[in-house]
Amino acid sequence: MSEERLLEVEHLTTIVHADGAKVHAVDDVSFSIGRNETFALVGESGCGKSLTALSLMRLLPEAAEIRSGSVRVDGEEWLSMPELRLRDHRGGTVGMIFQEPMTSLNPVMTVGRQIGEALLRHTDLRGKAVRKRVLDLLAQVGIADRERRYGDYPFQLSGGQKQRVMIAMALAARPRILIADEPTTALDVTIQAQILELMRGLQRERQMSVLLITHDLAVVSEMAHQVAVMYAGQLVERAPRDAFFARPAHPYSQSLFAALPGRNRRAGTLSVIKGTVPPLDGAFAGCRFAARCESAAPVCAQDSPPWTRVEEGHEVRCHFARETQARWENGKARVSVAAGAAGLPAQSAARPQPSELLTVSDLKVHFPIRKGFLKRAQGYVKAVDGVSFQIRSGRTLALVGESGCGKTTVGKAVLQLIRATSGEVRFQGVPITRLPEARLRPLRSDLQIIFQDPYASLDPRMTVGSIVEEGIAALRTELSRGQRAQAMERILGQVGLPPASEARYPHEFSGGQRQRVAIARALAVGPRLIVCDEPTSALDVSVQAQVLNLLKRLQDELGLAYLFITHNLAVVASLAHEVAVMYLGRIVEQGDAEEVLDSPRHPYTQSLLGSAPVIERVRTARPPPTQGEMPSAIEPPPGCHFAPRCAHAMPLCRERYPGVTRIHAHHSVRCHLWPAASSLPDST
């Protein structure tokens, strides 16, 4: 890695004009990136990371302006460069992968045409040469059937494919610097591993520099050479990756580590950073983190801390940087962040076994594909194809798998929001699969759901009080208006929202607070079972910790059972009692969380665990990510559905779907390699 600086940012300040106020979204930010170096910018949402990237590219919204500073690329100043000339550099010298590919890709242009635009703008290629280059790029980023995908529109692609197209567009003109803004947020671990491996490979091949913007510390540990932590528009810590992960010196950095979920965090609550990122429309007298810092002293609120050098290349904006770092090294502030190091604590044998609450037997949900004038069924999407599991009172079953495997459909079928094609769902011993709506309605209060996106699932025209009280009025008709109001206030208190919240609207809350409102709505009717559909997938680590702590506490206090749908294995390790791994409509492995996570038997489970980035696995060998994407649920492959992607597949695997093999009393697997699976390489 060259020490030559390719990108140099000095004292960059960007202001956003909002409702007559000046928001200092990026305030006096300085850093540099060397050739063939990955520089990670870390922090919570609202800290100014994405606006920093947009400032570098001069792609700011109309309400924003760069007030001062310098941005030099290979010694050439960008902030004073004429716009017409700058257009030649955007995409040519510096490429950018935007955070949300669906909103960044043009929905009315084909994939081939969108990538071709970058080539027409920044290269001399024309005609058939452009098409050939686009097809080469699609192959380079790992998109199968590139000829067909060339003519596809964005809506025809999966999330991982859209992200790959964004990478192909960013790399089309062979930029020297790549800005990647949350390139793997909310992606499955297998797709995330493929994207990260792709970026590493392209960086090695092209000697490219990368500015990686993310809130995922595990991704940073595997990708970055240098790390900078951003808080409230300022950088508060800069360090080489190894020094940062071994000896973080700013209280905010340490708080981010402490909030990480993992297997060894199961016994207690996760550390939470109190409060929220302060508004940036006023002047700061002291340290911007002081109001949320557990170690703040009077000087922190009075004087802005200068940069302190704690070791070579490691600088911190903190009055007590050396003392804070020393406490971490001595273990007084240290928390283990291993997502795969320690085993889960054994469940207490003396604890009475909870009663069986939900039983799902051979559940199938097949959606007909109707074509022709008469709309006859021409085939079926086998979204759920024979799923069985049980959940006991006060327990959490995590349903894990890639997007498209049928997890959410299972959750909706359990709640009878989607009617099953066949199979049975029993709640407290009562079969509910075929119950008419009139008889099912009294059970609705026992079965509730927390949706993935609280902003989309909360009515923006209703106050929080109305949202929470609506379910009480519909399903607990025996309560008077006064009793409903009292219940609503009690529920808001249970989820940590003040009484004044009832008069506010969803848009007035942060992402974590909106998720608390969604939890309050589910709790309002006194449920026994809650389906949690990816409730923390797009949340910052600190907000995620708040939500997970809340779910744990409510389970302990109220004896709730959770069907927790997720692809985040660190969350599974922290929260779940049992795990079921799902692939293409079927469960391929299930059992106690300890067994499945510590001793996975199915190659797909091993792939998921091996693909998940782990902070301790810094620059060490990791198993190659599973290649390809999940086959179509319309025409599943014969035999084991995972066989086309499995490195251990045998002829038998392609001929017959495996039956259930019971490993232990609470651990089973569907795989022809078992008991030979014990000889498989340990990918965890």
pLDDT at 68: 96
pTM of the model: 0.83
Residue 432 lies in a domain: yes
The residue ranges of DSSP E strands in 329-457, in sequence order, are: 356-371, 376-392, 396-400, 422-427, 430-431, 447-450
Which residue among 467, 497, 526 closes a domain? 526
CA–CA dist 93, 79 (Å, integer): 15
Residue 338 lies in a domain: no
Between vectors from CA 212 to CA 206 and to CA 218, what angle results, nearest 5°? 110
Residue 350 lies in a domain: no
Provide the residue range defining the domain that includes 629.
Answer: 356-445+527-679
Report how far apart the first and last C-alpha atoms of the chain are (Å, whole number).
30
Inter-CA distances, 664 with 371, 605, 638, 660, Å: 47, 17, 28, 12
CA–CA dist 614, 595 (Å, integer): 19
DSSP for 528-570, written as a single string: SEEEEESTTTTS-HHHHHHHHHHHHHHHHHH--EEEEEES-HH
| Amino acid occupying residue 250 | H
pLDDT at 268: 65
Which residue among 526, 546, 563 closes a domain? 526
Residue 558 shares a structural domain with residue 664 = yes
Number of domains the chain contains? 5
Q: Specify the pairing of strand 356-371 against strand 422-427.
A: antiparallel
Which residue among 220, 243, 266 closes a domain? 243
Tokens of 510: 């942060």
Residue 502 shares a structural domain with residue 613 = no
Q: What is the pLDDT of residues 642-662, one digit of tens each?
A: 999 999 999 999 999 999 999
pLDDT at 528: 94
Residue 231 β-bridge partners: 234
Residue 349 lies in a domain: no
Q: Which residues of the chain have pLDDT under 70?
A: 1-3, 102, 186, 263-268, 332-354, 510, 538, 616-625, 675-684
Establish how many alpha carbons lie within 13 A of residue 402's alpha carbon, considering only the half-sphere containing its beta carbon.
28
Residue 403 shares a structural domain with residue 428 = yes
pLDDT at 263: 66
pLDDT at 613: 82
Q: Which of 502, 442, 447, 428 is nearest to 476 (CA)?
A: 442
Residue 618 shares a structural domain with residue 559 = yes
Tokens of 680: 């498989």
Residue 162 shares a structural domain with residue 75 = no
Residue 615 shares a structural domain with residue 483 = no
Residue 139 shares a structural domain with residue 82 = no
CA–CA dist 495, 271 (Å, integer): 17
Residue 489 lies in a domain: yes
Residue 165 shares a structural domain with residue 177 = no
Tell me how crowded residue 664 is: count the other CB atoms within 10 A of its CB: 10
| Amino acid occupying residue 285 | A
pLDDT at 336: 38
647, 680 Cβ separation under 8 angstroms = no
Class of residue 87 by CB neighbours under 10 A (exposed 0-12, middle 13-18, buried 19+): middle
Tokens of 508: 């007035």
Question: In three state form, how does the secondary structure of 24-60 look?
Answer: EEEEEEEEEEECCCEEEEECCCCCCHHHHHHHHHCCC
Inter-CA distances, 248 with 217, 258, 295, 681, Å: 12, 11, 15, 34
Residue 61 shares a structural domain with residue 133 = no
Residue 17 β-bridge partners: 22
Residue 347 lies in a domain: no
Residue 364 shares a structural domain with residue 255 = no
Residue 262 lies in a domain: yes
Residue 335 lies in a domain: no
Residue 377 shares a structural domain with residue 498 = no
4, 34 Cβ separation under 8 angstroms = yes
Q: What is the pLDDT of residues 672-682, one digit of tens each?
A: 998 644 444 44
pLDDT at 150: 95
CATH of the domain at 360: 3.40.50.300
504, 558 Cβ separation under 8 angstroms = no
Residue 84 shares a structural domain with residue 185 = yes
- Report the run of H or E that residue 146 belongs to, with start and end: helix 146-150
Tell me how crowded residue 147 is: count the other CB atoms within 10 A of its CB: 9
